[in-house]
Amino acid sequence: MSSDASIFNGRRILLGVSGGIAAYKTAELIRLFKKAGAEVRVVMTPDATRFVTPLTLGTLSENEVHIEIFPENEAGSWTKHVSLGLWADLFVVAPATAQTTSKLVAGACDSMLTAVALTARCPMMVCPAMDHDMYIHPSTVDNHKVLRERGVEVMEAEHGELASGLVGQGRLPEPSAIFEHAAEIIRAKIALRDGPLAGKKVLVTAGPTREAIDPVRYISNHSTGTMGYEVARAAARRGADVVLVSGPTSLESPEYVRRVDVVSTQEMDDAVQRHADADFIVMVAAVADFTPADTSDSKLKKDGSARELSLQPTIDILAGLGKEKRDGQTLVGFALETDDGLKNAQSKLKRKNLDWIVLNNPKEEGAGFGTTTNKVTLLSNEGQQIELPVLPKGEVAEAILEFTTNRG
């Protein structure tokens, strides 16, 4: 058990159990939560009762187990799913079968478990368990991806012997591992609850975009996404609800950040528009300025002759945000300039109705793409000019947020 298991003391854990053979492990999981001082309530799908009885889980949790959406002979039963969703500090679904996972994605509401999932305001943690071929099926992979994009913490299934007799990835993580992972989520929730950006939504874009020439080739740039990911990570540490719209990168998602993957500039614009209600928007992405006027459906063959590529401007995402900026919203842009940096950045700041712009020059030592450091100058629409020295990108991100989100 975690050396800091006391973090569960007084916490309210809602455990969702769906119908898989691994449901028997939830008895041990309840024991761990209870021993650490948590209050546990259990909701089950009807199929889950075929693998472990409500009597067992109810006895261990010392609370009634809920299965149907509308419990019989109970006052206020028609709103029980709402009250349970409001009660919990953390909703853990273990095991989460392929069926239940698909219902969580679709917003189905056919059991107390799925109904509570639609009302819960707390963090949700999903622990998949199923046969290997089901786990790696594109439908399941896509469902897990969608849940992660929505901010759900999805644990990776473990590799080992499965109920089918096969060996592969799909086993429910051991109760101790689920317990430790839940502790990390609770710990982060407590640590961030009083952060300076608690209750605020922050939208960050990162990485490059790619504009297809044909199914094989594309126009892009050298952005790795590192700077944007550090901004998203720093915003999450400050307690914000962070959405990261990311172009293609090899980076892992920052903790407690909802990541939305895109490829083209149009896809990035679509994703940004879905989250344009953010309190703070930091547009770090190196968006392609041009896209081919015509994209070939087949690979263009090399025949020894020269080819001309007709380009047209991509949509200006930042300008669109500036045009529609609402009162109280802060919009931060980035300007990568190689010549006349200050002049061009100030023009962009005014032209696109930004509150701040972050200027950097890839020619300067310690700045640019593919480095672990950056050197930037922050310019505000009120005339402030803050020049930072060469710093690790994580520290640059902290400084950017310190200046741009301080409205006091």
Catalytic positions, written as ranges: 221
Cα–Cα distance for residue pair 236/233, rounded to 1 Å: 5
* 349 class by beta-carbon count within 10 Å (0-12 exposed, 13-18 middle, 19+ buried): buried
Cα–Cα distance for residue pair 126/45, rounded to 1 Å: 15
Cα–Cα distance for residue pair 372/394, rounded to 1 Å: 9
How many residues comprise the chain?
408
Answer for the pair 224, 170: CB distance below 8 angstroms, yes or no: no
Look up residue 13 and give its DSSP letter.
E
Cα–Cα distance for residue pair 141/139, rounded to 1 Å: 6
Q: ∠215-294-337 over CA atoms, to 5°?
A: 90
Provide the token pair at 348.
């962009």
List the end-to-end C-alpha distance of the chain, in Å, as a whole number: 43
Q: Which residues, at least 6 apart from 18, have a Cβ–Cβ distance to it below 8 Å?
A: 44, 45, 47, 48, 93, 95, 96, 97, 99, 100, 113
Answer for the pair 228, 285: CB distance below 8 angstroms, yes or no: yes
